């Protein structure tokens, strides 16, 4: 009886006699088992009715095209809304650790040289193949063995020492946090350079010598010092510079500005240098001949981590240090500007969702719902805040192999690498205060 009443009503005319079928009144009826027209065959919209504003319709068209491309899934809706409705830039996915980036424990296999360095930053080797390390306000020469390292102070500088490089004339160039560079001549005399043609040098992150004897410098930021690198990342800093020191005159010229924390530099040939840009996860080839027209060229992009210093290898190729891995949660926080602003204003810096040189065992550390630790143990394959990574690149700066200290390792925050020859590599863990050595056996794995 109920079904007959419904069917009778569903075929009646409306009160105005327009001829419109009233089936739509019962489209959502649950109890009736009558045969209703499917949604795609119901025509309630009149031809004379407007389809909405042009702008709104264009946005909807973009969304529906995106649905067709991404697949009709509710899980794709936030990404579609962000990229196709709000118009935000679609960032590339983080490169997976596969192929030449496949995870291993090669850094963990390296021989220990010194395990108790305080605030180390960079490492170089002298003509005898012995490592020199900048740590605190001192430059150390390290010898001995792992169980009894012999650490001798070579120089004490006027501030926190950072990047180092030895000039062909025997001078030692040392970056001083917040105070430019200090040049120590072979006879022991010293000079300090603080200013460039575009302002003071407060954050020198790497130093390299050109074939003409002039010096290339990277200045990570004009707003923050070397120890404030996390804040520069969180605030999307792009105030870094590539500088050139003319050795004969002492003049410092800016070759390129607006870089996102340049952390490494090395000369490619007489007309170009390679710069690692940490916050954009890439290597840039920069023309330094003065004839550049198109700007820097991205040679290696979308790196899995934040690149730091670059070291040429005897016989060809390069070593590249990466001081931390990229993390999907960190990338998400960097895109969510309101959340990021509140975090910077209300949360102590040590608890920010940000990369780190080394992770602590503090119980207040963000553990991502057990993705990092379970039952008090850190997962080796978890998405880490700190990591140890060194990549070997070929002559064209393409990755060949990599060396890792995984999430549960204790050799993280690699900022310094030094290669006496192609069969030897010193690796400095700034996060854990350790210097290790990879011999031919480790490098051949």
What residue spans define the domains of the chain? 52-90, 99-443
Handedness of CA 405, 407, 409, 410 (dihedral sign): positive
List, in sequence order, every residue forming a beta bridge with 373; answer none if it has no partner: 378
Mean pLDDT of the chain: 84
The pLDDT of residue 38 is above 90 = no
The pLDDT of residue 202 is above 50 = yes
- Kindly report, residue by residue over 290-328, the tens digit of the pLDDT: 776 668 999 999 999 999 999 999 999 999 999 999 998
pLDDT of residue 30: 44
Assign 144 a pLDDT band (cuts: 50, 70, 90).
Answer: confident
Q: Which of 18-32, 105-119, 196-210, 400-414 has the lowest mean pLDDT?
A: 18-32
pLDDT of residue 93: 81
- Kindly report, residue by residue over 329-381, the tens digit of the pLDDT: 899 999 999 999 999 999 999 889 999 999 876 666 666 545 566 656 666 77
The pLDDT of residue 73 is above 60 = no
The pLDDT of residue 52 is above 80 = no
99-443: in CATH 2.120.10.30: yes
């Amino acid at each position: 009886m109920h079904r007959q009443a419904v069917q009778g009503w569903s075929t009646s005319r409306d009160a105005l006699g327009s001829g419109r079928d009233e089936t739509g009144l019962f489209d959502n009826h649950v109890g009736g088992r009558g045969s209703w027209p499917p949604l795609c065959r119901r025509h309630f919209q009149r031809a004379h009715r407007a389809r909405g504003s042009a702008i709104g319709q264009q946005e909807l068209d973009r969304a529906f095209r995106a649905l067709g491309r991404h697949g009709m899934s509710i899980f794709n809706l936030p990404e579609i809304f962000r990229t196709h409705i709000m118009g935000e830039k679609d960032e590339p996915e983080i490169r997976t650790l596969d192929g030449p980036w496949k995870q291993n424990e090669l850094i963990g296999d390296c021989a220990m040289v010194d395990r108790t360095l305080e605030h180390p930053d960079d490492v170089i080797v002298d003509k005898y193949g012995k490592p020199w390390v900048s740590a605190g306000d001192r430059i150390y020469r390290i010898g001995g063995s792992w169980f009894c390292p012999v650490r001798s102070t070579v120089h004490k500088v006027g501030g926190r020492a950072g990047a180092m490089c030895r000039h062909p004339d025997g001078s030692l160039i040392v970056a001083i946090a917040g105070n430019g560079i200090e040049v120590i001549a072979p006879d022991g005399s010293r000079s300090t350079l603080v200013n460039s043609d575009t302002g003071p040098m407060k954050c020198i992150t790497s130093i390299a010598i050109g074939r003409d004897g002039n010096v290339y410098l990277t200045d990570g930021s004009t707003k923050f010092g070397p120890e404030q690198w996390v804040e520069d990342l969180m605030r999307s800093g792009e105030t870094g510079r590539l500088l050139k020191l003319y050795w004969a005159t002492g003049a410092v010229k800016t070759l390129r500005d607006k870089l996102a924390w340049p952390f490494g530099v090395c000369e490619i040939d007489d007309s170009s240098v390679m710069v690692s840009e940490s916050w954009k996860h890439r290597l840039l080839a920069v023309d330094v001949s003065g004839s550049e027209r198109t700007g820097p060229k991205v040679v290696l992009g979308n790196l899995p981590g934040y690149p730091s210093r670059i070291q040429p290898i005897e016989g060809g190729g390069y070593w590249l240090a990466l001081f931390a891995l990229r993390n999907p949660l960190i990338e998400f926080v960097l895109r969510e500007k309101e959340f990021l602003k509140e975090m910077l204003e209300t949360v102590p810096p040590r608890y920010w969702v940000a990369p780190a040189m080394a992770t602590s065992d503090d119980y207040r550390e963000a553990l991502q719902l057990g993705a990092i630790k379970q039952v008090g143990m850190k997962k080796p394959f978890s998405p880490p805040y700190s990591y140890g990574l060194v990549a070997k690149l070929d002559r064209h700066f393409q990755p060949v192999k990599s060396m890792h200290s995984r999430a549960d390792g204790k050799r993280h925050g690699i900022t310094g690498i030094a290669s006496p020859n192609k069969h030897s590599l010193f690796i400095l863990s700034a996060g854990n205060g350790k210097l290790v050595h990879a011999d031919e056996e480790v490098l051949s794995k």
